[in-house]
Amino acid sequence: MSYLLGVLIFVVALLVSIMLHEAGHFVSAKAFSMKATKFFIGFGNTVWSRTRGETEYGIKALPLGGFVDITGMSNLDAVDPADEPRTFRAKPPWQRSVVLLAGSFMHFVIGFVLIFAVALAIGEQNTTTISVTACVPAKATQVNCPPSAAKSPAVLAGLRNGDKVVAVDGHKVSTWNQLTSQIVAHKPGTSVAFTISRDGRQFTKDITLAPLKWRKKGGFLGVEEVPFVHVSPVTAVQSTASQFGQVVTASVDGLGKLPSEIPKLFSPNRAKNGGGVTSVIGVGEATGQVVSASGVSWQQKAAFVLLVIASVNIFVGLFNLLPFLPLDGGKLAVVIFEWIRSRLARLFRRPDPGPVDMQRLIPLSVGFLFVFVCLGALLIAADIFNPIQLTQ
């Protein structure tokens, strides 16, 4: 039941994101007095609709996207001469650009707000704030410390729960991954300088790392990650901006690596082998797995779901800006090209060449759609027949 709830949460969030994307186009078009005749969620047969003013609002049978019908989006559209002044094509380039960018802008706003909500309401994650482990464990599965166990280096050094490690041997660390990488880079028995932040002040302690019998590489300090650290609104904004940038970077890298990831889609142990690209089916599956997982706190589940939805929105916003028709980025590229061509014509005192002949761009649009549909079908097939398992 909880699995289905997780999938349902993701599906509803996706539909809301689509609606807000189209609302961005719709509101900005209305702000510039463009005529918008339809605002629909989904495609196919109309399930419900209602006309208010000059616009028909409704829901289609297939919730696979949405659309706003703005009059005169290209020179191929037949328009009543009386409506020509209110067409998209009749407006200045900067207004058309704003309308086209508004959809991706809404995705970015959704992503930023959700990341901020997690940081402020649940807590900041992947920080270097520590909780101290009492002893040096004799084995990886040890939970409690027997009386005979040696105290951990962190205890011997006087570290406390809630301390924040800001540097290791002079190397600044800001994430838990960076901290653990710095620790295991030093051999057992090595004295390492840890810079600690506590109650608004910083100090440095030289701590000798302990060995672990069951781990050959790296020393042991004796600290654990604090999953969620409560922060102020100002810190939450700073953390959100940093994490937003990380998601943008990861999304761009993911798009660049997509061709090399395709052969891994149907490989055994897909997630472990790096075939991490997935479709919305896979993301919904992952959300269901986490929500239904046992031994996971509600904070971890809520944070995962919200951050996944945020990441998907940021990725979709970036993907939508790619300069390929029929994406908004492709339409924006046409607007920019028309503007540059018009400025050059004016500079050389030549007649304005007018709008681009969209008829000539149809083959490019169809070609991109074909590749996109094929790739989407391949990803969906991989998510159905070779899904990524996040939980065991």
- Residues with catalytic roles: 22
Q: Would you state the structure tokens that stand for residue 358, as one six-digit string?
A: 């969209």
Q: Name the nearest CA neighbour of 86 among 101, 67, 71.
A: 71
How far from each other are the two terminal CA atoms of the chain, in whole angstroms? 17
DSSP labels, 85-97:
GGSSTTS-HHHHH
As to burial, measured by CB atoms within 10 angstroms (0-12 exposed, 13-18 middle, 19+ buried), residue 246 is middle
Distance of alpha carbon 286 from alpha carbon 280, whole angstroms:
10
Distance of alpha carbon 208 from alpha carbon 191, whole angstroms:
4
Helices (H), the chain: 2-31, 93-117, 153-156, 176-184, 233-261, 280-292, 298-319, 328-347, 362-385
Distance of alpha carbon 355 from alpha carbon 338, whole angstroms:
6
